[in-house]
Chains A and B, each alone.
Chain A
């Protein structure tokens, strides 16, 4: 089978080099190529405009250009043609740098044999084609995603109008505005109305989900007062609650810090969770909504005393179209999408959602939201039996410009109690403590603060312990002796802090 000829543009001004390369390529078996050579950047640009070059071999030192500039000139004009940089032995670093900037490969003059030259060119072309294909595939995916959301939006719009007409016409007959009805007729129409409402809810949920997946859901993240939001929500719930003689009890801590989130999302999530609680809580029951600070987050929980969720289903409640088996009443069936939407929204706002449930007793759905950064200081607990070390760390932390609240304890046993009250975001823990082994503090500490809300920075003397410590849950390490930079850079990363003046490169 006749292979297509490959057009290679050699940009090189040294006649000897040109001869060598030309000769080597001739000798390469099964490698049909045309070699075109030019001696300057300007000539290269002109020749490339012809649009028929498959690969470029580029010497960086030319009469009208030198070094990196040579590469960038060509690459910026013709980013889709693979470039192989030709370099001298002492310029290898530069060549490597250019590969990172977009060159496909480099060759050291005088060190390439016949086979290597041919292979390098072939592979450069292959890789470049793969790169282009990937870029096109990504763009195509983006287009498809846009089309999909557009379609979903249009389709749901088209569905809503006739649905609105059906609903209202059914409602008019049901409400006896078109004449009297017997019981059976009234009952059938009542059922039809309920199903219209279910369809409406389903359309809304599908639209929500489609928009979230397309990433188009606009989030307006700002400072939000959860107390006000929850109080308002409780008031809005009254009519619904009254229909089943249920009460919504609010349990909110005093001095709750502001949350950093999108109000719409939170209202959507609450509507979802409380709506479910309302469905599954019996007549006259109580739904409890609480909000507490948990380290850097606010945890909002919705608790009901309904039927609970069977253990084997608890892992799947947040999956789409998972319905809990409700033998009681078909009216309790939802769209199956609500919790999936709630989960997506919680995660988009930077939190986590989870459920705890005891079949027969009830369920508690809770989600976290980040607190507004600037509002509250991050809390650090130092656990070290050496007072001098504690003083040193305290002063290091004070000298940083992070907004921190620092406590310390010299005893490992005490640490767990203090942590329980103080609820730190980070514990700086010495592995060797006088009263207990650091491990005996690490394990229960990690247990106590689920969902990784409290990070642990271990002060360790020897490196071999690292693997074990990681297994036990330590997040990071500093080794004695450590500098202020060592410590602060790790603190900054663990707490996700931004600092105006203090920017340290992270060295491991």
Chain B
């Protein structure tokens, strides 16, 4: 049984998922993917990842809704969620925090920043 932390990446751009996988695996994480909100929600519930990286613009169910559904559920509330977006408006950030996102990153981001946030959240610090 590997003790690597498991991260679920939910983004509708295949290239983006690929890049995140490469980056995260190079840093010792185990990665699973989902291409839309519905699959993302299902995998989150079935596989209980240690952390979820969630794009807010998703087909089927949008990222905000996925976050809200998970956070309002006792069973999954404690899984940290990092929200990704290509928008940078203040209202988006506030919405993100309001639905229970634990961190918020605007694309394009520096991978060091992303890794730092992931590490911090997995270590249990906010």
Task: State the A residues within 8 Å of B (CB).
Answer: 153, 157, 160-161, 163-169, 171-172, 175, 177-178, 196-197, 200, 204, 207, 218, 264
Contacts and interface: CB of A to CB of B under 8 A. Distances in A.
Interface in B5-39: 13, 15-16, 19, 22-23, 26
B87 interface: yes
26 contacts: A153-B87, A153-B89, A157-B86, A160-B106, A161-B13, A161-B16, A161-B86, A161-B107, A163-B107, A163-B108, A165-B16, A165-B19, A166-B108, A167-B108, A167-B110, A168-B19, A169-B15, A169-B19, A171-B23, A171-B111, A175-B111, A177-B22, A177-B23, A196-B108, A204-B88, A218-B91
Contacts, number: 54
A169 B89 CA distance: 25
B90 interface: yes
A165 B15 contact: yes
Interface residues of B, number: 19
B109 interface: yes
B63 to A, nearest CB: 14
Contact of B23 (A161, A163, A172, A196): A172
Nearest to A161: B86
A164 B106 CA distance: 9
Among B89, B90, B107, B108, residue most surrounded by chain A Cβ atoms (within 10 Å) = B108
Contact of A200 (B22, B26, B91, B108): B108
A200 B107 CA distance: 9
A172 B22 contact: yes
A340 B86 CA distance: 24
Contacts of A167: 108, 110
A167 B23 CA distance: 12
A177 B90 CA distance: 34
A402 B81 CA distance: 52
Interface in B88-103: 88-91
A196 B15 CA distance: 18
A219 to B, nearest CB: 11
Contact of B108 (A153, A164, A172, A177): A164
Nearest to A167: B108
Contacts of A177: 22-23, 26
B90 A160 contact: no
A208 B126 CA distance: 29
Q: Is the interface of A mostly helix, strand, loop or mixed?
A: helix
A160 B19 contact: no
Contacts of A218: 90-91
Interface in B57-74: none
Nearest to A177: B26
A32 to B, nearest CB: 58
A264 B90 contact: yes
A343 B100 CA distance: 35
A160 B23 contact: no
A440 B97 CA distance: 59
Contacts of B26: 172, 175, 177
A157 B109 CA distance: 14
Contacts of A197: 110
A202 to B, nearest CB: 12
A171 B26 CA distance: 13
Contacts of B109: 164
Contacts of B86: 157, 160-161, 164
B26 to A, nearest CB: 5
Contacts of B23: 168, 171-172, 177
Given A153-B87, A164-B86, A172-B26, 9 more contacts: A164-B108, A166-B108, A167-B108, A169-B19, A171-B23, A172-B19, A177-B23, A178-B22, A218-B90
B55 to A, nearest CB: 10
Contacts of A166: 108
Contacts of A164: 16, 86, 107-109
B77 to A, nearest CB: 29
A317 B16 CA distance: 39
List the 5 shortest-distance A-B pairs measured between CB atoms, nearest first: A164-B108, A164-B107, A160-B86, A168-B19, A167-B108
Nearest to A216: B89
A338 to B, nearest CB: 16
B111 A160 contact: no
Nearest to B20: A168
B16 A157 contact: no
A200 B26 CA distance: 25
Nearest to A157: B86
A228 to B, nearest CB: 19
Contacts of B90: 218, 264
B14 to A, nearest CB: 10
A217 to B, nearest CB: 9
Contacts of A172: 19, 22-23, 26
Nearest to B90: A264
B108 A168 contact: yes
A195 to B, nearest CB: 12
Given A204-B88, A218-B90, A160 B22 contact: no
A175 B114 CA distance: 15
Contacts of B108: 160, 163-164, 166-168, 196, 200
A155 to B, nearest CB: 12
A207 B88 contact: yes
A160 B86 CA distance: 6
